[in-house]
Amino acid sequence: MPFTANRAFKRAPRMLVAAKGMYYTAADGRQILDGAAGLWCVNAGHCRESITAAIREQAGVMDYAPPFQMGHPLAFELAQQLVRMLPGDIDHVFFGNSGSEAVDTALKIALAYWQSRGQPQRVRFVGRSRGYHGVGFGGIAVGGIEANRKQFAGQLLPAVDHLQHTHDLSRNAYSRGQPRHGAELANELETLVQKHGADTIAAVIIEPVAGSTGVLIPPVGYLDRIREICDRHDILLIFDEVITGFGRLGAPFAADKFGVVPDLMTVAKGITNATVPMGAVCVRCGIYDAVVNASASGIELFHGYTYSGHPLAAAARGWPEYL
């Protein structure tokens, strides 16, 4: 079982057998308040009828369509619906099946972008200490939770650095809202630029609000400073909004909440209210154009998943009702 003490679970299983609204039903009949919304993913509540009805209907019409060299209208409709609410000029979407896949896809798109720009030496990624970006090899490499990395450390991406996290209890204990202190921690990115050279760095990836490590809210001005440094050195900025997206912060996305637009944005979880697995990478038009136009003909991005834009996942969208 994933991220589970398997022997302990087998000795004392904790089984859930039903869910509705804000509650799970345990195997012994107890009602359990789902205070974590599943794994930060059931944004609209369990078994929301409009979503489950859409899935049932779509399963009876077309259960699967191959995404390689073919398509189906629902995936394009979902992409268009997303684009209408995405911040800034982020206007293209690449679908996968999870946040982990979305992160690895975003890293690949960043590398493809710099190749298309004639700068293939830009291969370095910058993550952040205590950051969580899923469990793909790319996501573990740029992630900064050491317990997730140590079993696989021998084969992670080699050109990765990590910024310091922003958790500063000595100055920000009992802060309400955004911490007042810590924007200067973003300057560590400038130090890495001087160390490695801007022309070696492909992208910076951070969670606007760190989730799995303990809900670390960015200090006032921190994200703005990261964006400023990336702009000055022509470095791509990726926001991992797998947790923060679709209303988690009281705005459609953290980019809206904090007024900072990234170049790429990963989403998952709330995109289908967790009823069917799905993830996506949302990119600015200039990135899409560069990658697509760099290819004279044929396939422009050699990447994809069997279940990219799956019809049932594309039908399972609940967020238009509450955003």
DSSP 8-state assignment for residue 216? B
Distance CA(139)–CA(144), nearest Å, equals 9
Q: What is the dihedral of CA 116, 121, 123, 125, to 10 degrees?
A: -110
Name residues whose C-beta falls within 8 Å of residue 115's C-beta, 6 or more positions apart in sequence. Answer: 294
Strands 236-240 vs 160-163: parallel, antiparallel or unpaired: unpaired
Q: What is the dihedral of CA 29, 34, 37, 40, to 10 degrees?
A: -110
The string of pLDDT tens digits covering residues 267-318 is 999 999 999 999 999 999 999 999 999 988 899 999 999 999 999 999 998 7
Which percentage of the chain shows pLDDT scores above 90? 96
User: Helix, strand, coil % (nearest 5) of the chain?
Assistant: 40, 15, 45
Q: In the structure, what pLDDT confidence band is assigned to residue 221 with cuts at 50, 70 and 90?
A: very high
Tell me: pLDDT of 322 over 80: no
Q: In the structure, what pLDDT confidence band is assigned to residue 321 with cuts at 50, 70 and 90?
A: confident
The string of pLDDT tens digits covering residues 105-147 is 999 999 999 999 999 999 999 999 999 999 999 999 999 999 9
| All structural domains of the chain with their residue ranges | 6-35, 61-321
Strands 23-26 vs 16-20: parallel, antiparallel or unpaired: antiparallel
Residues 56, 316: contact at Cβ < 8 Å? no
Sign, CA dihedral 227-233-234-237, equals negative
Architecture per CATH, 61-321: 3-Layer(aba) Sandwich (3.40)
* Burial environment of residue 199 by CB neighbours within 10 A (0 to 12, 13 to 18, 19 or more): middle
Residue 318: the pLDDT is: 74
Residue 60: the pLDDT is: 98
